[in-house]
Structure 1
Amino acid sequence: MDMRPVAGSELEYFPCRYGASKLVFRGPQKRLQGDYVVVLGGTETYGRFVEDPYPELLEEATGCEMVNLGYPNAGIDVFLSDETVIAAAKGARLVILQVPGALNLSNRFYTVHARRNDRFLRATPMLQAVFPEVDFTEFNFTRHLVGALAARAPERFALIRDELRKVWVARMNLLSATIDRKVLLAWIGTRRADEPAEALDDGGPAFVTRRMIDRLRGRIVDMVEVPFRPVEPSEDMVYGEAERGAARLLPGADTHRRLAEALAPQVLETLRRDATQSFSVSSGTTVKRSPTRP
């Protein structure tokens, strides 16, 4: 099939919903029964502009059913507030979570839309006090807001960046505890976790650092990193001419392939260990456990 980008080309995403959720995910729709793995993430996990996103490639590589619950521009809040997503994750054998940036979540300085987390809704009195000269009605998106505030007063903006990082760690830990399943992190960004993340143009996931990853608790198994560089859209992406700018910011099919290849052995090993532990417990074999605390 000729996958070269041409004006007016369209890609079929087979949009679907699960249960009572108002979120529209990429299909084909899967049955949330039996053994399956849930993949949570944003636009990259959804697989915009690519025919075969990494959850689908990962299903082919592992033989495990992957339920793609990637949602465009999703922050942590959209998953925490959706009972259907939480139930699907609770029923999975494993959850793969694309590491989200720290922009699209409500905090003490601003609130975001409940489903479209990239939408800025309102500034809190605290933000208005820090930036009294700013007219916040001019902003509709979190990236526009954060970029403008950082450019206006870097020292004052540092207060907001620190808040975003604290809230991000707290919400990620809450999500992990809520779904109560082993979580494998997928880092998809234009830099590595060890590289600087002080400014928006440092690359995504925005403002997230290795130190923040190290503060995550719960049942985090590991993290797979697959960085990519934003370049002209690759020939294996499908988009209309008006979408060229958006396509340039997203990973192409090669990045999705590399991510699936990196995740596959981790997924299989985690599921193997889980099955072994379950067998040991059910068969009466002694299993080493941490000492019980009073």
Structure 2
Amino acid sequence: MADHLSGYQERDREVVDYEMYQEQDSGLWFRGPEPTELRQGEYIVCLGAAQTFGCFCDQPYPALLEDRLGLPVVNLGYGGAGPRFFLRHPELLPLINGAALVIVQVMSARSEDNSRFDSGGLEYMTDRETGERISASQAYADLLAQHDDGLQHLPSGLRKVVRSVKGHSEVRAVLAETRANWVESYRELLAAITAPTRLLWFSKRSPGLHRSRRALWWWQRYDDVNAMFGDYPQLVNRSMVAEIEPLAEGFVECTTRRGSPQRLVSRFTGEPVMVDFGRDRPDLAEVLPVNEYYPSPEMQIDAADALEPEVTRALAAAAALGATRSAR
């Protein structure tokens, strides 16, 4: 399956220039500027999806960290990516494993394979039964719709309740399989990364790991695909995060919605603009004056603020370890 090359650059041209470049070993296109010189153990890599890429933001958290730390930070954020996407591209591993630190975003589970859908690690997937290429939202909406007919014998009020809280057994099975595969993909990805790692939770809702905090969570619903997914990272729940948290050397949480929704303005005139999301993919066609989905510039600053102390400690520990080894 060919990788979906995001149309972010064309879609968002009026708002921001992503300075896209083609990474030579993988042939994939990432957000620039392109790194000019990377010395072993003297740079940071950020793996993730559109939140790491930084849609509609001049400076996503990787760029902010680079400015603050004075160290090159390679942004390997890729639109729609899940952990399986990076497993499909082992040619990126030399770049990743040459870093002093790798920040791995907790990515969506809707970009994960299961017995019904082949995702290839991206949000644009293939229905294994029909061979059709469709978005994850459409794929799961179709799956939900297939089972609605079995509830028509119920009174409308009861039918609505049942559709909300008790999904069809096949839907529940697909979700359970997807979540298990997502955890396994993270196990494989983090095992393949030999450089020190930190997991980053970057969302408008809490991962719910600290039960003393008020968890911005959602209960699993089956009446609507967006309600079933929940906020980004879609389909990821507390138990999944708890399973992958110990696989990295640290975990950083950034739960924020500051500055969202973000009013979109022209980088040329400073005036409000409308962005046609259909210029990325026709199935996403919608013309909007605001960014309600991707992290706002303020949220990117919050992510950099959350990461900076942990990254500074990690780099200091690595430097101290290197000095000790050199002295032996």
CA–CA distance in structure 2, aligned partners of residues 180 and 27 of structure 1: 25
Q: Bigger shift: 263-272 or 197-206?
A: 197-206
Structure 1 residue aligned with 2:238, among 203, 206, 210?
A: 210
Deviation readout 1:72-105 (Å, 9 max, x if unpaired): 1112122111133222111111101111011112
Structure 1 residues 107 and 220: alpha-carbon distance in aligned structure 2, compared to 1, 3 A threshold: farther
Residue 226 (structure 1) aligns with? 255
Deviation readout 1:183-238 (Å, 9 max, x if unpaired): 11221223111123635432111111232122124433222223327953235786
CA–CA distance in structure 2, aligned partners of residues 71 and 237 of structure 1: 24
The number of residues matched between the two structures is 265
For the pair 1:70 / 2:72, whether they are aligned, the reply is no
Unaligned segments of structure 1, at least 5 residues: 1-6, 125-135, 285-294
For the pair 1:20 / 2:64, whether they are aligned, the reply is no
For the pair 1:160 / 2:188, whether they are aligned, the reply is no
For the pair 1:9 / 2:14, whether they are aligned, the reply is yes
Structure 1 residue aligned with 2:275, among 209, 232, 241?
A: 241
CA–CA distance in structure 1, aligned partners of residues 309 and 250 of structure 2: 13
CA–CA distance in structure 2, aligned partners of residues 9 and 241 of structure 1: 8
For 1:60, the aligned partner's letter is D
Deviation readout 1:27-85 (Å, 9 max, x if unpaired): 00013334000001111111111111111011112222110011111121221111332
CA–CA distance in structure 2, aligned partners of residues 230 and 108 of structure 1: 39
Q: RMSD between aligned alpha carbons? A: 2.6
User: By how many angstroms is 1:120 displaced?
Assistant: 1.5
Contact 1:50/1:237, CA 8 A, preserved across alignment: no
Q: Bigger shift: 221-230 or 60-69?
A: 221-230
Contact 1:38/1:66, CA 8 A, preserved across alignment: yes
User: By how many angstroms is 1:250 displaced?
Assistant: 1.0
Aligned partner of residue 23 in structure 2, secondary structure = coil
CA–CA distance in structure 2, aligned partners of residues 151 and 273 of structure 1: 52
CA–CA distance in structure 2, aligned partners of residues 39 and 237 of structure 1: 28
For the pair 1:37 / 2:51, whether they are aligned, the reply is no
CA–CA distance in structure 2, aligned partners of residues 77 and 272 of structure 1: 31
Q: Bigger shift: 72-81 or 89-98?
A: 72-81
Q: TM-score, normalised on structure 2? A: 0.73
Residue 3 (structure 1) aligns with? none
Percentage of pairs with the same residue: 25
Structure 1 residues 236 and 51: alpha-carbon distance in aligned structure 2, compared to 1, 3 A threshold: farther
Aligned partner of residue 220 in structure 1, secondary structure = coil
Q: Bigger shift: 136-145 or 172-181?
A: 136-145
For the pair 1:143 / 2:137, whether they are aligned, the reply is yes
Contact 1:197/1:203, CA 8 A, preserved across alignment: no
For 2:178, the aligned partner's letter is L
Structure 2 residue aligned with 1:110, among 106, 111, 117?
A: 117
CA–CA distance in structure 1, aligned partners of residues 236 and 114 of structure 2: 16
Unaligned segments of structure 2, at least 5 residues: 1-11, 148-166, 209-216, 268-272, 278-286
Q: TM-score, normalised on structure 1? A: 0.81
